[in-house]
């Protein structure tokens, strides 16, 4: 069979076979037999997944394998298969025992459609317009507005394909689909996930990562998922929590014979996680449920409270919207605190430009007060490295009027507990592992206000808090390094 050597996103045969094996193994584990019937790959390329289906006998013969691809130059498949050059998103009215494939993530799927084709997609599809429970927001068939059509053009092709996979499967039919990992982890895709969960039971998700051969030119991580089409959709995605058995989540071993190589430093594992947990955390990606995040606070004897109980305010600085802050010369002005200024000992004021006392950049809300924490909002080099610090006020002799955070940093106002203790916790395993877990598996590490407030904080007595303040004072004065605060936290929690 012809393999397209130069094809960008073609799945190598060995990888496709490995993915097929996971489908077989997972279905065997849960005791689900593939219903007899035909097999469809609606974006089949050279048909590698149809071969996989034949190998596992999900298709009785090549005649029951149907492959569709837009591109006549790549379209191919096992001899005797039914192959057509067509738009795989268009419902052919048939229902299949297995729908399998690696559909496009973006590109030609949606953007290059004519206005009429986009409108047709808008009418026939629900996934792009549903709420967090996966229910269609507007009535089917209703004409979309211009704003909706714009949004629809930017909507990922892969999510339309998920809906197509679901609708093409017969009740009890199996869907096996490679998707961007973000489909399982990002809050942006939560509604689409919910829609699928209403219509299909999730059997397993396998991280396929590290190597970029699957998505040449991008470092996009992908995940392979297996679902079983329900006979009837559930009223709400949440209802799956009450009835579905646990889901198999796996990250393949580091040295596979088939190149499903994990990212450097990552580990291999298989866990089974209950649907209530997946739904509550709104994360279906294996990475989030990696057992290495096992609760660092398990066995902690101190009372645990959500950090949010002690956060009086969180705000990030002005976005500017095309405006840049104007520099201030001479005494006065405000220090603009960026991520570079965030150091173990506090803020490096030499790294803070002085700006004029002008809105939108200088406003009381952005103005740091003693004991506030400064937390970089996102970024691998800052948040990803657990950089955060505390502000203790302008040093004596500094003639600036104050310091304001820029839009890349959060000002976190802590009340009712020593903020030095909070900083110590966030920067030792007990807090950092909670943060790492949340930010793992998403393209750009980012900690939302909700996630920050949800971190669990051990609350010690006043003596330990006073000691945390003393140790922080020594760190800020350059008399001790940050480890001394970590030692206090570790010692207290041990």
Ligand X SMILES: C[S@@+](CC[C@H](N)C(=O)[O-])C[C@H]1O[C@@H](n2cnc3c(N)ncnc32)[C@H](O)[C@@H]1O
Q: Could you tell me which of 303, 329, 299 has the C-alpha nearest to residue 400? A: 329
User: What does the alpha-carbon distance between residue 226 and residue 174 come to, in Å, rounded to a whole number?
Assistant: 7
Q: For the residues of 237-297, what is the DSSP string, one character each? A: GGGHHHHPPPEEEEE--SS-TTS-PPPTT---EEEEE-HHHHHHHT---GGGG-GGG--TT
Q: Which two tokens stand for residue 267?
A: 């580990």
Q: With respect to ligand X, which residue has the nearer C-beta, 164 or 377?
A: 164
Cα–Cα distance for residue pair 13/213, rounded to 1 Å: 12
For residue 290, the 8-state DSSP code is: -
Q: Which residues contact 180 (CB under 8 A, 6 or more apart)?
A: 105, 156, 158, 220, 221, 222, 223
Shortest distance (Å) from residue 168 CB to ligand X? 12
The H or E element that residue 378 is part of is: none
SS3 273: strand
Residue 40 or 423: the one with the smaller Cβ distance to ligand X is 40
In the bound state, the residue with its beta carbon closest to ligand X is 45
How far is the C-alpha of 389 from the C-alpha of 207, rounded, in Å?
34
For 43-87, what is the HEC assignment? CCCCCHHHHHHHHCCCCCCHHHEEEEECCCCCCCCCCCCEEEECC
Question: For binding to ligand X (CB under 6 A), which residues are involved?
Answer: 9-11, 41-45, 48-49, 68-71, 74, 87-89, 101-104, 108-109
- Which stretches within 111-189 are classed as H helix? 115-124, 146-154, 157-168, 182-185
Query: Whose Cβ is closer to ligand X: residue 48's or residue 362's?
Result: 48
Task: Tell me whether residue 71 or residue 309 sits nearer to ligand X (CB atom).
Answer: 71
* Minimum distance of ligand X from residue 90's CB (angstroms): 8
Place of tokens 């009223």: 235
* SS3 of residue 279 by DSSP: helix
Three-state DSSP class for residue 481: coil
Tell me how far, at minimum, the Cβ of 182 lies from ligand X, in Å.
16
Shortest reach from residue 319's CB to ligand X, in Å: 36
Query: Minimum CB separation from ligand X for residue 195, in Å?
Result: 19
CB of 234 to ligand X, least distance (A): 28
Q: How far is the CB of 209 from ligand X (least distance, A)?
A: 16
* Closest approach of ligand X to the CB of residue 434, in Å: 35
Question: CA-CA distances (angstroms) from residue 227 to 183, 248, 269, 434?
Answer: 14, 11, 20, 29
Whose tokens are 């004029």? That residue is 356
């Amino acid at each position: 069979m012809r393999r397209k050597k130069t094809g960008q996103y073609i799945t190598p045969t060995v990888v496709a076979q490995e993915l097929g094996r996971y489908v077989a193994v997972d279905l065997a584990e849960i005791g689900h037999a593939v219903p007899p019937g035909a097999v469809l790959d609606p974006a089949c390329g050279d048909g590698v997944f149809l071969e996989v289906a034949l190998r596992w006998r999900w298709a009785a013969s090549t005649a029951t394998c149907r492959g569709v691809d837009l591109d006549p130059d790549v379209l191919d498949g096992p001899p005797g298969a039914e192959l057509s050059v067509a738009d795989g998103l268009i419902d052919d009215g048939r229902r299949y025992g297995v729908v399998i494939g690696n559909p496009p993530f973006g590109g030609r799927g949606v953007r290059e459609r004519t206005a009429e084709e986009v409108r047709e997609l808008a009418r026939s599809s629900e996934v792009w317009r549903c709420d967090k429970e996966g229910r269609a927001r507007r009535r089917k068939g209703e004409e979309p507005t211009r704003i909706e059509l714009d949004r629809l053009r930017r909507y990922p092709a892969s999510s339309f394909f998920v809906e197509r996979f679901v609708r093409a499967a017969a009740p009890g039919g199996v869907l096996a689909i490679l998707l961007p990992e973000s489909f399982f982890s990002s809050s942006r895709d939560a509604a689409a996930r919910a829609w699928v969960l209403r219509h299909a039971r999730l059997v397993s998700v396998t991280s396929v990562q590290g190597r970029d051969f699957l998505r040449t030119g991008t470092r996009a991580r992908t995940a392979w998922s297996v679902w079983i089409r329900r006979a009837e959709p559930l009223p709400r995605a949440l209802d799956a929590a009450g009835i579905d058995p646990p889901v198999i989540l796996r990250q393949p071993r580091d040295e596979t014979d088939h190149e499903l190589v994990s990212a450097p430093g990552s580990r291999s594992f298989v866990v089974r996680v209950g649907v209530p947990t997946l739904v509550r955390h709104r994360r279906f990606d294996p990475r989030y449920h990696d057992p290495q995040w096992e609760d660092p606070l398990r066995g902690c004897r101190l009372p645990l409270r959500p950090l949010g109980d002690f956060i009086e305010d969180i705000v990030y600085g002005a976005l500017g919207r095309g405006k840049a802050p104007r520099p201030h010369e001479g005494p006065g002005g405000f220090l603009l605190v960026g991520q570079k200024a965030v150091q173990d000992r506090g803020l490096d004021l030499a790294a803070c430009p002085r700006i004029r006392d002008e809105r939108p950049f200088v406003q009381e809300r952005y103005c740091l007060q003693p004991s506030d924490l400064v937390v970089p909002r996102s970024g691998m080099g800052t948040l990803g490295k657990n950089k955060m610090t505390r502000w203790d006020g302008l040093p004596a002799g500094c003639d600036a009027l104050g310091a304001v955070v820029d839009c890349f940093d959060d000002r976190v106002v802590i009340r009712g507990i020593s903020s030095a203790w909070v900083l110590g916790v966030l920067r030792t395993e007990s807090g950092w592992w909670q943060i790492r877990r949340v930010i793992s598996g998403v393209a750009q590490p980012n900690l939302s206000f909700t996630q920050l407030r949800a971190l669990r904080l051990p609350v010690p007595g006043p003596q330990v808090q006073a000691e945390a303040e003393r140790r922080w004072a020594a760190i800020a004065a350059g008399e001790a390094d940050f480890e001394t605060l970590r030692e206090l936290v570790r010692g207290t929690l041990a």
